Amino acid sequence: MSVNLFAAESETGGLKFPSIENLVEWPAYLFDGTFAEFNKIALISVLSMAIPTVMFLASGRDRVPSGLQNVVEGSVEFIDKQVILPAIGPEGFKFRPLLLSIFMFVFVGNMFEVIPTFQMPLNARMAVPLTLALLVLVVFVTVGIQSQGLGGYLKSSLFPPGLPKGLYLLVTPIEFLSTFLIRPFSLAVRLFANMLAGHILLVTFGVLCIALWRSDFLVVILPFSFGMLVALTGFEIMVSFLQGFVFALLTAVYIGGAMHPHH
State the residues that interact with another protein by CB under 8 A: 19-20, 81-82, 86-87, 186, 189-190, 192-194, 196-197, 242, 245-246, 249-250, 253
Beta carbon of residue 196, minimum distance to another protein (angstroms, whole number): 7
Task: Specify whether the CB–CB gap between 16 and 40 falls below 8 A.
Answer: no
Question: Which CB atom, from 168 or from 245, has the smaller least distance to another protein?
Answer: 245
Question: Which CB atom, from 20 or from 50, has the smaller least distance to another protein?
Answer: 20
Q: Angle at CA 195, nearest 5°, toward 58 and 112?
A: 35
Residue 20 phi/psi, 5° resolution? -65, -25
Question: Which helix H or strand E contains 27, and what residues bound it?
Answer: none
Q: Angle at CA 7, nearest 5°, toward 214 and 233?
A: 80
Question: Which CB atom, from 137 or from 196, has the smaller least distance to another protein?
Answer: 196
Beta carbon of residue 190, minimum distance to another protein (angstroms, whole number): 5
Question: Which CB atom, from 211 or from 249, has the smaller least distance to another protein?
Answer: 249
Sign of CA dihedral 203, 205, 210, 216: positive
Beta carbon of residue 250, minimum distance to another protein (angstroms, whole number): 6
Task: Specify whether the CB–CB gap between 92 and 256 falls below 8 A.
Answer: yes
Q: Angle at CA 41, nearest 5°, toward 40 and 47?
A: 90
Question: Which CB atom, from 96 or from 190, has the smaller least distance to another protein?
Answer: 190
Question: Which CB atom, from 104 or from 249, has the smaller least distance to another protein?
Answer: 249
With 0-12 / 13-18 / 19 or more C-beta atoms within 10 angstroms meaning exposed / middle / buried, residue 116 is exposed
Beta carbon of residue 249, minimum distance to another protein (angstroms, whole number): 6
Beta carbon of residue 125, minimum distance to another protein (angstroms, whole number): 13
Of 55, 154, 147, whose CA–CA distance to 107 is shortest? 55
Of 253, 236, 256, 254, whose CA–CA distance to 107 is shortest? 236
Beta carbon of residue 219, minimum distance to another protein (angstroms, whole number): 28
